[in-house]
Amino acid sequence: MNLDKKQVNATNRDRRLTVIVFSLFFSWLLAVPFEGQVLYAVTGYHGVSAQSYVPGAMAAHFAGLIACGFFVKNIRAAKRLILFSIAFCAATTCVFFLSPSFLWTAALLAASFLIGACVAAWGYYFKECTPKGSRIKTIADCLIFSNIVMILLNMTAIHISPQTGLGFSILALAAAFPFALKLPYEVTLKAAAPPVSGRGTFSPGKSGSLAFLCLFIVIITINFGLMYQVVNPAFAHMKTLTSWYWAVPYIAALIILRNLPRRVNRSYILYVAIAMIGFSFIAFLMLGRSWADYLLINTLLLGACGVYDLFWWSILGEMLEHYKNPAVAIGIGLSANVLGVFLGGLIGNAFTAEQNHTLFALGVVCVTMIMLPPLHKRLTKLLKNHVYLDAFLEMPVQEKTKRINGLDLIERLTERENEVMLLLISGKTNKEIAGELVIVERTVKYHVSNIYAKTGVKSRTELTNLLLRMEKVE
């Protein structure tokens, strides 16, 4: 038991390190090269246009995400790249304290490429330091904390001075470095999935699913690219409000989804989020440019953005079990996000009338609605236990919960036994259940034994069959 506790503690420690490192370097990415408000503040201070730098930075970031999988083949190489990238980006950001010159362009392109590769390399720790089935919480924590730090950096650059915001963004990178040094070269958590044969990079099933998911990411994030180029500039006159509230609905959506019980059917939330995007652009067209209008439009759009970012990020996290090199899957998935935002920006600049922006955004919403059902079906075949896709033998979550509750009426289980049973019938091993509930495997076996005794079965197969035989609970 002491050994189990040590392993659980080591796994939790490694997970916390991955969250801290990601949150700090990703906050720099959001605040500086990726349409970052610190970059906009610095360029505005010097009287130059940020738009002359942003497209190149996004292209370099895209290239870094794609290229990482070709030269990072193991977790040791991933750690070395992360350390080098953090140090290099911190050093090159100092160039922006100088007057604008070709050094700005060179520094931004190089840093954007390396930070893209750094994000993809972090995929090794995303896979190895969080148990399968729990990665939605890890990425939710990463996105929540990185956006909180980003808000602080933005407010510093806007309300104090661009140079101060730039200095704090460098400090965020510097703070990430000592934590990155503690990242393990060897992990304590071993993947529960069977080993991948051969090179194990692609197979028709998983590559097709990843391609479909990437297409979906590109399309859904076009609207978020429109947000950068159309919605945000329309409210630029309210710097005090926009500097801090901009990402608040995004963070709130992540917190709510992170803490939803596993039994809640998240598929419906995806459709609600699609409607939120549509309503946000309709409101943008019909309403004015007051603070109340901004609160409504931004809350709808950024709340939906949080829902979908957590959806596809967590799907990518579970798909890592099917890839020998997780940097490949993360790099391809994140590059789709960058491409979608870039295309949205191009469309926003191409159209001048707000009616055209709204019509295009609603068209994207319609395409997304059409894509969701086949995407869900395809991903369910590949990922049977993801919280967005979880289906008990293709049964709706509400029906599965009803049957479990009906079983409780026959022989009341404890709250912990209910949690264990839900994970058990979802196909998880005892070790995976222990990791998700943060208990030792021996305790899981004890709960499983009690579940079998109270339901009168001898195996999880018999338990599954019992639930299938039960009549629908009124």
Per-10-residue mean pLDDT for the chain, 474 residues long? 58 88 95 89 91 90 94 92 96 94 94 95 91 85 96 94 95 96 72 40 62 89 81 84 90 92 74 89 88 93 93 88 88 93 81 71 83 78 62 46 50 74 77 85 85 74 61 38
What residue ranges of the chain are covered by domains with CATH 1.10.10.10? 397-469
Helix axes 415-425, 430-437, angle to 10 degrees: 130
Instruction: Tell me what pLDDT residue 200 has.
Output: 41
CATH class of 204-382: mainly alpha
Of 66, 139, 127, 121, the closest CA to residue 321 belongs to 127
Q: Can you give the length of the chain in residues?
A: 474
What residue ranges of the chain are covered by domains with CATH 1.20.1250.20? 1-187, 204-382
Give the amino acid at 61.
H
**Within its chain, how far is the Cα of 36 from the centroid?**
18
Which pair of tokens denotes residue 439?
A: 């208990």
Q: How far apart are CA 242 and CA 19, in angstroms?
A: 26
Which pair of tokens denotes residue 297?
A: 């439009």
Bridge partners of residue 395, in order along the sequence: 392
Neighbours of 181 (CB within 10 A): 13
Instruction: Tell me what pLDDT residue 199 has.
Output: 39
Of 216, 223, 211, 215, the closest CA to residue 343 belongs to 223
What 405-409 contacts at long range (C-beta under 8 Å, 24+ apart), as own/partner pairs, is 405/473, 406/470, 406/471, 406/473, 407/455, 407/466, 407/467, 407/470, 409/473
The DSSP letter of residue 241 is H
Instruction: Tell me what pLDDT residue 191 has.
Output: 40
User: Residue 367 to residues 214, 218, 220, 300, 379: CA-CA distances in angstroms?
Assistant: 14, 12, 9, 19, 18
Spatial CB neighbours of 419, under 8 Å, sequence gap ≥ 6:
437
Instruction: Tell me what pLDDT residue 39 has.
Output: 93
Judge if pTM exceeds 0.85.
Answer: no
Instruction: Tell me what pLDDT residue 249 has.
Output: 95
Instruction: Encode 417-439: b = buried (16+ Cβ within 10 Å), e = exposed.
Output: bbbbbbbbbbebebbbbbbbbeb
The dotted CATH code for 1-187 is: 1.20.1250.20
- CATH topology for the 397-469 domain: Arc Repressor Mutant, subunit A (1.10.10)
Inter-residue contact 243 to 158 (CB < 8 Å): yes
